[in-house]
Each structure stands twice: as C-alpha cells, then as structure tokens.
Amino acid sequence: MLAAGVLCACGGNTTSPLTGEPLPDVAIIVVDTLRADAVVRAETPGIDDIAQKGIRVPFAWSPSTWTAPSTLSLMTGTHVRDHGWDLPFPRFMAQAGLSYPSVDDRTTLAEVLTTHGYRTIGLFANPLLSRNLGWERGYGDWQQEHDSSMARTLRRSVRYMKQFDPNRPLMVYLHLLGPHQPIRPSRQAARRWGVRSETRHLSRKGIRIEHAVAGRRDNQDQYVRAYHAQVEDTDSKVGELVQVMKRRGRPLLVVLTSDHGELLGEHDSWGHETSVWNALTHVPLIVSGDGLIPIPEVMTTAAIPDYITKAVGIPHQWPVSIDDQPVLVSQRDGAVAVSGDGRYRGIWDTDGATLTGVYDIVMDPDEAMAIPDFAPRAVLQMHRSHWLAETPNNVRDALDEALDDETRSLLEELGYMGHTEADDATDPVEAVPE
C-alpha cells in the first residue's frame, strides 16, 4: 500500500544545509509525449497557471525521443551518451530476441533528496516505468496509476503525511500518460476539437498511430485533433495534482515537462519510433513556485536535477548543470541533434559523424528544407565537438534474452510492439452512438 510507505521512518532533516531555510516540497510533473507547441494550440489553463506564477523555458529539449533513455537522463542528470542507455525501440529489441538492462550505477535525484530528509513518491501511468530498469531507486514508494486516479492516490498520501509527519518535505514524481497513444479523449474535449465518435472507438482504447500511418488523410486529421483534445484532458489532471500539493500548506517548487514530443505527420512520420526531429526534441519546461532561481532560456531536461537541488539549497554535483555552456543535445539510436540557441539545429546521422542537415526552426518549423548557410553549420559543429569532448561515451549492451511476456504485454498496450489484431476490436459498450 502506498500509504504504508509514507508512514514509516518519520523525523529527519527539514532545512536546507546551505541556507538553513525549510526545505520546500517538490513536484515534478511529466506529461508523456507532449510536444512544446501543443500547449500553445490547446487550451491548457492548468499549465498556463503554473507558467503565470513561474518561468517558462522557451527552448527546452528532451535528451532522447522516447521514454526510457529520456527519463533516465531526467532522473540522473546525465546525457544519454553518458549513461549509455541508447537502445532500440521495443519492437526491434523483440525481433532481435534481446531485452533491456537496468541502470543502477548512477545517482538519482530521488536518492539525493531522500538523503537530505525528503519523503519521495513516484506515481506513473506509463507501464514501461513499472519494469525493473532502475527508475524506482530512491523512492519510498514507486507505483503505477492511471492518469484518472493519480490525484486521488496522491491526495491519500498527503493526508497520511499531514497526520503523521507534517513537517517533512515531500518530493513527488508524477508521470502522466497524457496524449500517448492509444488516444481516447473525453466527449467534451472531442467535441471541442471535432473528433468524431467513431474515431474514439477505432480500437478498444481509441485511435492509434496505425490508423494514421495507414495513409487515410481523414484518419490523420482525426489523430491530430484527438491528440490536442487529449492534451486538454490531461491539463485538467495537471491542475488537480498541483492543487493537492498546494493544500499541504508548505513552500512548493513545481517543475512541469515532457519526456519527448511526437511527430504528427511531419516528414511523413507519426509517433516517436525513431529520429530526432524538432517535434520530438522540443518539449515544454516550466518551473514555478517558491524559491525560484534563474533558469537558462536554452536548457536540456537532463539539467532538471541540478536546477532542483540548487533551488532547494542542497549541495550536489550533477554531470549536467544549468551553469554549463548552453547546448541542446538529443540522441536516438546513435543519431544526434544539436543546437546552441534552440533556433538553428543540426542533425548527425546514426554513424555519429555525418551531418545530414542544418535547419532554422523559426523560419522553417517543420524542418522541410536544410539551409546551406556556413555560419550556423560552423557553430553547430563547434557545439557538437565541445559536447563530445566533455561528455563520457558509455555504452550499455542489451541483454541476450527475450523480453518476458509481461513486459511484451505492457509494451503492446502502448503500441511499442507494432499493430495487434486485438486493437481492431471495438468496445461493445463504448461503441454506443452518442
């Protein structure tokens, strides 16, 4: 039970070792698969409220373009090149008869905060995070919850802490599935975005990437609409989670971001199965609340642990720091995207050495045409060379054993294993016309 973990080991430090001030609560909210421009297009009053009382980072990148390596970077304050977990998408691993290794040799933010007296709770809706790959290290409780029940579970935990350990600071990691496929937005959001009833029932759990990839323009348009409708549904859950934490009546630092974005037809691609295009790397990043310190306008989410420990007044040296030279790097299957300012970005091929193109995302947000200009190319080459020189190159080998059945089942639910016949079945109850 979650509450049982919260009740144990009361007492301990409640002040910053650097400032002597009370340690604030910390809430890290990750909305899976949320591209940066989606919070501009969709109506997101919950996220907007966080931003209004805080700082929005205009150029924030995820360290990779799918959940596993990106989340490991966020938790350990390291680039993917450093922690070495740059492994293929699940269906490719399954085809090769391989499985994923754990990362248990890197200090996590939760471990650091626990050492300094924090209660630590992790609630996640993405079932990939239930696998024993090292996510849970440092958390007193690490539990899978649906988006719809996450606020209720958090509220119960907060209630127990108020009764038994009211002064202890709390750090929560809240990972919502958000607009990750399969998508079935609420009827209200669907109506606002013009998502048809039959779209919500194209499979047992809604519309899937396969329905857009099949090439029907109507399905593609419906997928984009459903994606943004789901963002609006998720925004209401973000607001609930923040309110639960505020009711503790303690100083609170909120960090909202995503693990990666999503391709919605750019480059004739859908989802996030491969590549490092800007729609995948550019994510929202907002910090809000008490004790804010200056934050760079150009920042990788791998620097979040450093920002948090500095903001709350806990000494710790992370591999990636907010004080580093501003450079954005996202890595996927060996391919690397690099930017120094968030505007000009270069992409190097999977061999790690071939620059395939330089793009100006202000003039060409869809990266439809590479620019020939020498100056941006030279600057990006310099940024990449500096990153290569400063970042250790570690490689984690896949395990020579097949994915277990439970893991395969969980990954199929997310569409990570490709199309399944079960996806085609409509829900006889949900399929009733509205």
Assign 3-class secondary structure to 332-401. Answer: ECCEEEEECCCCEEEEECCCCCCEEEEEECCCCCCCCCCCCCHHHHHHHHHHHHHHHHHCCCCCCCCECC
Residue 267 has pLDDT above 70, yes or no: yes
Which residue in this structure is represented by tokens 């977990």? 85
Percentage of the chain beyond pLDDT 70 is: 93
> What's the alpha-carbon Rg for the chain, to the nearest Å?
21
Give the number of residues written for the chain. Answer: 434
**Which of 173-182, 231-240, 406-415 comes out lowest in average pLDDT?**
406-415
Contact 147, 178 (CB under 8 A): yes
- At residue 12, the pLDDT reads 56
Residue 316 has pLDDT above 90, yes or no: yes
Confidence of residue 421 (pLDDT cuts 50, 70, 90): very low
pLDDT one-digit tens code per residue, 55-109: 999 999 999 999 999 999 999 999 999 999 999 888 888 899 998 999 888 999 9
Question: Hey, what domains does the chain have and what are their CATH numbers?
Answer: 23-321 (3.40.720.10)
Mean pLDDT of 244-267: 96
* Of 107, 128, 94, the residue nearest 399 (C-alpha): 94
Contact 149, 157 (CB under 8 A): no
